[in-house]
Amino acid sequence: MVITNGIAPLTSAPSDIISPLLPPPPPSTTTPISTPSSLPSAVVKIEEPLPYVSLKTGLCYDVRMRYHAKIVTNAYDYTDPHPEDPRRVYRIYKALAEAGLVDMKGASGAGHIGSKLMQHVPAREATKEEVTLVHELKHWDFVERTATMTQNELVEETDNGDSVYFNNDSWFCAKLSCGGVIDTCKAVVRGDVKNAIAVVRPPGHHAEPYKPAGFCMFNNVAVASRVILKEFPDQVKKILILDWDIHHGNGTQRAFYNDPNVLYISLHRYDNGKFYPGGTFGNYDKVGEGAGEGFNVNIPWPCGGMGDGDYIYAFQKTVMPIAEEFDPDLVILSSGFDAAPGDELGECFVSPAAYGHMTHMLKSLAHGKLAVVLEGGYNLDSIATSALGVTKVLIGDAPMPLTNVYARPEAVQTVEKVSRTLARFWKCMKIGHMIHDLPGAPPVERLHDIIRRYQASQLFAHFSMTKLPIFRDRISRSFEDQVLCTPGFQSAKTVVVIVHDPPDVWTEPDPVTGQISLHETFVMDAEIKYIQWAHQKGYGVVDINAPAVFTGQEDEGYNVQAALQDLCLYVWDNYLDLSDARNFVFVGVGEACGGHVYLLGHREVRERVRASIAFAGSKTLFPIVPIMDEFITDWYYKNSLVLTSSNHPMWDQPNGSKNPRKKYGNVQRTEYETMNELLIGKYSEVIAFAEEDIEESSSEEDHEGPDRKRLKSDRTTNDEDWVDGVTPASAPAVL
Amino acid sequence: MVITNGIAPLTSAPSDIISPLLPPPPPSTTTPISTPSSLPSAVVKIEEPLPYVSLKTGLCYDVRMRYHAKIVTNAYDYTDPHPEDPRRVYRIYKALAEAGLVDMKGASGAGHIGSKLMQHVPAREATKEEVTLVHELKHWDFVERTATMTQNELVEETDNGDSVYFNNDSWFCAKLSCGGVIDTCKAVVRGDVKNAIAVVRPPGHHAEPYKPAGFCMFNNVAVASRVILKEFPDQVKKILILDWDIHHGNGTQRAFYNDPNVLYISLHRYDNGKFYPGGTFGNYDKVGEGAGEGFNVNIPWPCGGMGDGDYIYAFQKTVMPIAEEFDPDLVILSSGFDAAPGDELGECFVSPAAYGHMTHMLKSLAHGKLAVVLEGGYNLDSIATSALGVTKVLIGDAPMPLTNVYARPEAVQTVEKVSRTLARFWKCMKIGHMIHDLPGAPPVERLHDIIRRYQASQLFAHFSMTKLPIFRDRISRSFEDQVLCTPGFQSAKTVVVIVHDPPDVWTEPDPVTGQISLHETFVMDAEIKYIQWAHQKGYGVVDINAPAVFTGQEDEGYNVQAALQDLCLYVWDNYLDLSDARNFVFVGVGEACGGHVYLLGHREVRERVRASIAFAGSKTLFPIVPIMDEFITDWYYKNSLVLTSSNHPMWDQPNGSKNPRKKYGNVQRTEYETMNELLIGKYSEVIAFAEEDIEESSSEEDHEGPDRKRLKSDRTTNDEDWVDGVTPASAPAVL
């Protein structure tokens, strides 16, 4: 041997379990380069097969695992069987047989299982000693009791509200499934097979140490991991469990949450805690605890529809770097196929090709020692084709080319959150996130505040704009410095009110530290064009900057949107409504539109507000809420312009109505993508729209008569009922 | 067949080249899922091997390639043979044989080449028609002529100054090498073998269409690519050439520079254009041209010492995403092994394990159709172990675990530059770089200017600091607003001069767009502590902000460092030197230290400057240059404090001297990493150091006597020679 023989399987110990298939153990350590004495024996060995390559892929399959089935209690059960269906394992075996990997007769239990490429790993019942390495004794006892329960007891006593069912064979099947997985992992560790797939049911990854859950009785993978760590202490010190079932493997995570020797990585739908198994245990910030801190990695997808590009991205960006840094001795794959297209529970689109690619990547770890274990996956066709994609790569095929390689923004953002969180624990994740714990010392300033003060100084220099005092306690702190006005706006005939998000900032930070270069960072503030316009026209201007501070969780009640709404009402009640202005034009930019649209619905504004322009971009659209004035919706539709980006998600909805409802105003799709393009590109159109309304309002004042030209035909008769000159008796002016 | 049979080799066409080894071609297109009619035949096929997995790995090797050798013209050639040594191919073959992959006898040309795992691909001479698909006819003619040249002619006429040598057999060997590579690629494309390695010489990737270069005569890989594209137009429309030779494959890049069907990706040492083949053709901005724009990817390492973590990072971050997006039909690997440890030309550390991992990743492309072709690599042991690492993965072994998985900052930065450059062409590279062409419209401001104006307003508010006028034309534009001073500093007894880089800004930009959130961006300006200190002490303060603007290339003469030096001299000549101050303390922060250290060397400052503190962090250290005063180096060493980060690269140099030379000042390694930690952590020590000097200076004035306490023993006798009260007759005060 000329080179470090790291590839050879662990055949050397323990000596009693060496497979007869294998050649004698190779020298276990590095031998110096070019030892001529080893040459003759090398020549002799030439007809011997190489250890690793000549090994087959293991297959654990046992027809008896089909005995576990849901007890039929009503007719509905016949037409719509439970998704964790006994045919699941059969259909996978059948797909392998049809592809020529194994003998079809094996599917019935009568014939030979395996082939030249695959080797049968017989399933056997897991023992109490093995199962209780993970599960509490009372859990074992409970499952044991189900074997002798009556039908009624089975239906009534086993329903713990967490998606499990039992019959009298479930106990046996659960032990068989678990034992099969244990022996599959053992076969891989011993080098009886080069890698393996266990096509077993019931699945395991939801089973908690103390209870069954989510179709799972015993946590097969967790039990097998504990057995391997116990029985092969020298060969296997570190296990990576990769769980790509679309559901979070809560049970597996729990079993190793404080264990640094088992790295659990799960990719799953999370949907903000609403996807099964629910709650926050599957979120990215659950990183393990105690000695196990950092050894639990959740990649929680925020929604369905994830596909090949997303999974491959997560693997390349996070899973593989961390796995390589961890350097496991064995990889166990909790392989649900419910992220495959066609799975009604998962609603994702991971193709057999992508499953193959991910398997291929995992094969590069741990000398290729990879045990694939079936978990969920409920579309019988999908799980069959997916499992075949995985198994072909296990035997040595190249994965099929990917057809979709692009990650969605949702995936990129999720993976980024995960990477940032894990940078504390994994050096490979530190890239771009080297600086974390910002010192709380006084010299630290939020850039937002610096830029707002700069804006204020510019607006003062060019337009003499100054701060408008805000005395209301609840909102004053967030909005200090945020409201500016032109001098004497109270006596202007026309006032333009601009409510906007902070300006856009672009940069390309240092890829190593995440530090940005001030010279390569640009602040773009196109709103100033609108202030210039108003200033030239002699209009008064009130400029409200809506900071995006979130000091707490959004759902903790009072959030920044609510604060902005309060602020807009405050400015209306204390300044605008009391001013001499006969014409108001509202211009909203970004999420801040929520503030002025709220105001329009919560005060009687129709007689003085001439136009409401919302630069929504690709942000949220805000409906007007007719609290004070039941005709405001029609009014808003006629007097508003809501400008959206060409890429606003609204326009992509396949089955949605083409146009949003009237309450969202006159929504238009533009050809622009970014907010600044929109602000600059629509400038002429927007000021024409605003000015038309202002002039009309003046002429209307003179001859009481003709309705607004543009939308005349749409006007409802109710428009005649406008009430003049009533100041709303709303909240007190100053609290 | 149940599933898309994308994995099967291209056995179906052209029909005249089907290998007799292969089973009948499988159905070539997608069949619907679960066709029960296909079941019986699947059962019958069960004893047949699967097409792909049963295929062997091809090996092209021919002892005759050893005939090409350098003509020995002097005794030196015996003791120090040319690195492109005939034994290169033999040693690789030998390593494969010793590992049991092939028969040792094959190495001599007498025995069987190949084994159960590998299949011989015979080499044959490439034809004129083939070679001239890439090379000009005159190039072919020239190489042909070498076969009949005299020894003298060979030595004299073939030396084109670009590292090539010839003997009378070079012509034959070059054709054999090229023909071998062509047939190796053909065997892979046809599916005669699942993948292959061509252990050939002379290498090819430096050979230009019009001339031999860098040990290369014909560009084997380029010629083979052209032949494949021509002869297999239906099966192979796109080829990926991955070149991990440590040298840039200039010839290959040239051959396909405007061809969108051949994606050339090269990882190589660049060393700012100084590494062979030199020049800028291998830089990251060379992305192809015309239709081929974007289809040329250079990953140019800035230095030697690159290792496994760097290459794996580049593969995960850039190579594989782009390769997957390109979706090639064939991958050809220009596989030099001169990045392996021990190669004296490459000076890198890529292990056989890493070569295996990269090969494993490439195997996931193009249905596994991968042809590995030897290029450079000159340490005979290293190329043997590296090639074995690659070949074991080709036959199906798992790659050996990686021992080093961390990318160096140099690698991260290089890969980031590449990704940014390629974001224009590859959607997968757009992540984090979506916004590129910033509009040039007026509302765009550099963040640097906004923050400096904010700083100025803060320094005015707290310390009444105002702008110091700078009238010198050449520097005024870059440094407008950049010099601030306390009122009346001219009459203070002590003046603190702070020369600093812009403050640090931290952020975590949106991973999709690269946009930053102002609320999650922090500006840290710890220098203000030092201004506070000086202000409290009643000292005058001059604050010079050194912007990091680079409007041109650094080497285009006048750069920002030179401008800063000019500015410091200007401030000294026009303000500081003319002031009443008896004590100056200079505080430099970051790269800006270059400014004040330059000043100290270029003016006579010893009698008034009491201390020079440089917060160097991990930035450049600046030596004092004794232009005006030959004793300044000693003086500087005694009166300076140069504070470096614990991770300053200087401290890592293995063979360097432990401490930098005196001209760099009194350099100290601190326990801090970031500049702000340094500024805050060393605050007390630094002000004590500065104050001690100031006090001493006062007492020295009184009793003329004792030397500075701290460094008394080090003082030279020359210190007595200080000249008092002489104003330097240097540059005119105002230009």
Which entry of A68, A205, A206, A247 is annotated as an active-site residue?
Answer: A206
Q: Which helix (H) or strand (E) holds A522?
A: strand A522-524
Mean pLDDT along residues A351-355: 97
* Residue A560 confidence (pLDDT): 73
State the amino acid at position A709 in one-letter form. Answer: K
- Check residues A665 and B30 and name the one with the higher pLDDT: A665
Closest to B451 (Cβ–Cβ): which among A352, A450, A504?
A450
Nearest CA-CA distance, residue A29 and chain B, Å: 13
Q: Is B363 in Cβ contact with A357 (below 8 Å)?
A: no
Quick: pLDDT tens for B13-61: 333 333 334 444 444 444 344 434 444 444 343 344 455 677 999 999 9
* Residue A607 confidence (pLDDT): 87
- Check residues B11 and B177 and name the one with the higher pLDDT: B177
Mean pLDDT along residues A643-657: 73
* Residue B733 confidence (pLDDT): 30
Question: Which of A29, A50, A421 to mutate against chain B (most B CBs within 10 Å)?
Answer: A50
* Residue A157 confidence (pLDDT): 77
Cα A519 from Cα B291, distance rounded (Å): 34
* Residue A176 confidence (pLDDT): 97
Nearest CA-CA distance, residue B734 and chain A, Å: 29
Task: With a cut of 60, say whether residue B196 has pLDDT above it.
Answer: yes
Q: Which of A719-728, B434-443, B647-656 has the lowest mean pLDDT?
A: A719-728
Nearest CA-CA distance, residue B651 and chain A, Å: 20
- Check residues B656 and A97 and name the one with the higher pLDDT: A97
Task: With a cut of 80, say whether residue B719 has pLDDT above it.
Answer: no
Q: Which residues of A touch B39 (CB under 8 A)?
A: 98, 104
Task: With a cut of 50, say whether residue B315 has pLDDT above it.
Answer: yes
Q: Is A349 helix (H, G, I), strand (E, B) or coil?
A: strand
Quick: pLDDT tens for B553-611: 334 456 677 888 888 999 999 999 999 999 999 999 988 999 999 999 999 888 899 99
Quick: pLDDT tens for A143-173: 999 999 998 888 887 777 677 889 999 999 9
Cα B586 from Cα B495, distance rounded (Å): 9
Sequence-distant (≥ 6) Cβ neighbours of residue A250 within 8 angstroms: A205, A206, A208, A213, A214, A277, A281, A282
- Check residues A361 and B674 and name the one with the higher pLDDT: A361
Pick the residue from chain B with its C-alpha nearest to A322. Answer: B405
Q: Is B413 in Cβ contact with A385 (below 8 Å)?
A: no
DSSP 8-state symbol, A107: G
Distances in whole angstroms, Cα of residue B392 to Cα of each of A51, B3, B196, B388: 11, 29, 11, 6
Mean pLDDT along residues B690-715: 52
Task: With a cut of 60, say whether residue B213 has pLDDT above it.
Answer: yes
Q: Which residues of A touch B548 (CB under 8 A)?
A: 517-519
Q: Which residues of B touch A413 (CB under 8 A)?
A: 510-512
**Is the bond into B20 cis (omega within 30 degrees of 0)?**
no
**Is the bond into A202 cis (omega within 30 degrees of 0)?**
yes
Q: Is A507 in Cβ contact with B507 (below 8 Å)?
A: yes
DSSP string, B616-634: EETS-------SS-TTHHH
Quick: pLDDT tens for B164-193: 889 999 999 999 999 999 999 999 999 999
Mean pLDDT along residues B495-519: 78
CB-side neighbour CA atoms (13 Å) of A670 = 25
Cα A531 from Cα A539, distance rounded (Å): 9
CB B595 within 8 A of CB B499: yes
Q: Which of A463-467, B70-74, B352-356, B703-707 has the lowest mean pLDDT?
A: B703-707
Confidence label for A444 from pLDDT (cuts 50, 70 and 90): low
Task: With a cut of 50, say whether residue A574 has pLDDT above it.
Answer: yes
Pick the residue from chain B with its C-alpha nearest to A369. Answer: B398
Pick the residue from chain B with its C-alpha nearest to A112. Answer: B46
* Residue B730 confidence (pLDDT): 32
Q: Which residues of A touch B451 (CB under 8 A)?
A: 450, 518
Quick: pLDDT tens for A522-532: 777 778 889 99
* Residue B542 confidence (pLDDT): 95
Q: Which of A327-341, A661-675, B472-486 has the lowest mean pLDDT?
A: B472-486
* Residue A591 confidence (pLDDT): 87
Which entry of B68, B120, B135, B206 is annotated as an active-site residue?
Answer: B206
Closest to A42 (Cβ–Cβ): which among B97, B400, B524?
B97
Quick: pLDDT tens for A406-437: 898 889 989 989 998 998 899 888 776 554 44
Per DSSP, what are the bridge partners of residue B587? B498, B613
Q: Is B643 helix (H, G, I), strand (E, B) or coil?
A: strand
- Check residues B593 and A727 and name the one with the higher pLDDT: B593
Pick the residue from chain A with its C-alpha nearest to B389. Answer: A3
Cα A220 from Cα A228, distance rounded (Å): 12
Cα A636 from Cα A714, distance rounded (Å): 12
Mean pLDDT along residues B300-322: 96
Q: Which residues of A touch B400 (CB under 8 A)?
A: 4, 6-7, 367
Mean pLDDT along residues A647-671: 77
Q: Is B101 in Cβ contact with A381 (below 8 Å)?
A: no
Nearest CA-CA distance, residue B658 and chain A, Å: 27
* Residue B164 confidence (pLDDT): 86
CB B284 within 8 A of CB B417: yes
Quick: pLDDT tens for A90-129: 999 999 999 999 988 888 887 888 888 999 999 999 999 9
Nearest CA-CA distance, residue B3 and chain A, Å: 6
Q: Is A95 in Cβ contact with B2 (below 8 Å)?
A: yes
* Residue A693 confidence (pLDDT): 73
Per DSSP, what are the bridge partners of residue A43? none
Place of tokens 């136009």: A611
Return the sign of the alpha-carbon dihedral for residues B703, B704, B708, B713: negative
Quick: pLDDT tens for A258-307: 999 999 999 999 999 999 999 999 999 999 999 999 999 999 999 999 99
Closest to B316 (Cβ–Cβ): which among A321, A327, A548?
A321
Known catalytic membership, residue B120: no
Cα B722 from Cα B348, distance rounded (Å): 52
Q: Is B39 in Cβ contact with A521 (below 8 Å)?
A: no
Spatial CA neighbour of A391 closest among A107, A735, A60: A60
Phi, psi of B668 (to 5 degrees): -125, 140
Beta pairing, strands A522-524 & A296-301? unpaired
* Residue B487 confidence (pLDDT): 92
Q: Is B521 in Cβ contact with A446 (below 8 Å)?
A: yes
Confidence label for B699 from pLDDT (cuts 50, 70 and 90): low
Distances in whole angstroms, Cα of residue A659 to Cα of each of A553, A632, A672: 32, 19, 18
Mean pLDDT along residues A679-690: 90
Nearest CA-CA distance, residue B501 and chain A, Å: 11
* Residue B429 confidence (pLDDT): 87
Q: Which of B327-336, B663-672, B701-710 has the lowest mean pLDDT?
A: B701-710
* Residue A547 confidence (pLDDT): 74
* Residue B432 confidence (pLDDT): 63
Q: Which residues of B touch A443 (CB under 8 A)?
A: 524-526, 528-529, 676
Q: Which residues of B touch A454 (CB under 8 A)?
A: 450, 453-454
Sequence-distant (≥ 6) Cβ neighbours of residue A313 within 8 angstroms: A407, A411, A412, A415, B321
Mean pLDDT along residues B636-653: 85
Task: With a cut of 50, say whether residue A4 has pLDDT above it.
Answer: no
The percentage of residues in chain B with a pLDDT greater than 90, rounded to a whole number, is 53
Phi, psi of B498 (to 5 degrees): -110, 120
Q: Is A357 in Cβ contact with B519 (below 8 Å)?
A: no
Nearest CA-CA distance, residue A640 and chain B, Å: 26
Task: With a cut of 90, say whether residue B229 has pLDDT above it.
Answer: yes
Nearest CA-CA distance, residue B428 and chain A, Å: 6
- Check residues B508 and A462 and name the one with the higher pLDDT: A462
CB A105 within 8 A of CB A112: yes
Q: Is A439 in Cβ contact with B385 (below 8 Å)?
A: no
The percentage of residues in chain A with a pLDDT greater than 90, rounded to a whole number, is 53
Mean pLDDT across chain A: 82
Q: Is B46 in Cβ contact with A104 (below 8 Å)?
A: yes
Cα B302 from Cα A5, distance rounded (Å): 33
Q: Which residues of A touch B325 (CB under 8 A)?
A: 405-406
Question: Which of A117, A355, A364 to mutate against chain B (most B CBs within 10 Å)?
Answer: A364
Mean pLDDT along residues B125-150: 96
Q: Which residues of B touch A46 (CB under 8 A)?
A: 97, 100, 102-104, 115
Closest to A517 (Cβ–Cβ): which among B360, B365, B548?
B548
Quick: pLDDT tens for A621-638: 899 988 877 888 999 999
- Check residues B481 and B43 and name the one with the higher pLDDT: B481
Mean pLDDT along residues A660-664: 85
Q: Which residues of A touch B522 (CB under 8 A)?
A: 438, 444-447
Cα A533 from Cα B525, distance rounded (Å): 37
Pick the residue from chain A with its C-alpha nearest to B102. Answer: A46
Cα B353 from Cα B331, distance rounded (Å): 20
Q: Which of A576-585, B326-335, B358-367 has the lowest mean pLDDT?
A: A576-585
CB A676 within 8 A of CB A637: no
Closest to A447 (Cβ–Cβ): which among B388, B413, B505?
B505
Residue B375 burial class via C-beta count within 10 angstroms: exposed 0-12, middle 13-18, buried 19 and up: buried
Tally C-beta pairs within 8 A across A and B: 378
Cα A72 from Cα A75, distance rounded (Å): 8
Nearest CA-CA distance, residue B322 and chain A, Å: 9
Q: Is B659 helix (H, G, I), strand (E, B) or coil?
A: coil
Q: Is A614 helix (H, G, I), strand (E, B) or coil?
A: strand
- Check residues A699 and A111 and name the one with the higher pLDDT: A111
Q: Which of A393-402, B25-34, B252-261 has the lowest mean pLDDT?
A: B25-34
C-alpha torsion angle, residues B384, B63, B139, B345 (rounded to 10):
20
Query: What does the block give as tokens for A236?
Result: 């296997």
* Residue B459 confidence (pLDDT): 87
Mean pLDDT across chain B: 82
Q: Is B52 in Cβ contact with A397 (below 8 Å)?
A: yes
Quick: pLDDT tens for B523-564: 777 888 899 999 999 999 999 988 766 443 334 456 677 888
Place of tokens 């729990």: A254
Confidence label for B631 from pLDDT (cuts 50, 70 and 90): confident
Pick the residue from chain A with its C-alpha nearest to B415. Answer: A511
Per DSSP, what are the bridge partners of residue B444? A524
- Check residues A467 and B124 and name the one with the higher pLDDT: B124
**Which conformational region is residue A327 in: left (phi greater than 0), alpha (psi within -120 to 50 degrees), or beta?**
left
Q: Which residues of B touch A368 (CB under 8 A)?
A: 397-398
Closest to B680 (Cβ–Cβ): which among A45, A363, A441?
A441
* Residue B617 confidence (pLDDT): 87
Task: With a cut of 50, say whether residue B629 has pLDDT above it.
Answer: yes
Sequence-distant (≥ 6) Cβ neighbours of residue B234 within 8 angstroms: B13
Q: Is B1 in Cβ contact with A98 (below 8 Å)?
A: yes
Query: What does the block give as tokens for A449?
Result: 């505040």
Pick the residue from chain A with its C-alpha nearest to B369. Answer: A398
Q: Is A368 helix (H, G, I), strand (E, B) or coil?
A: helix
* Residue A479 confidence (pLDDT): 66
- Check residues B728 and B183 and name the one with the higher pLDDT: B183
- Check residues B207 and B678 and name the one with the higher pLDDT: B207
- Check residues A84 and B699 and name the one with the higher pLDDT: A84
Pick the residue from chain A with its C-alpha nearest to B504. Answer: A515
Confidence label for A552 from pLDDT (cuts 50, 70 and 90): very low
CB-side neighbour CA atoms (13 Å) of B246 = 28
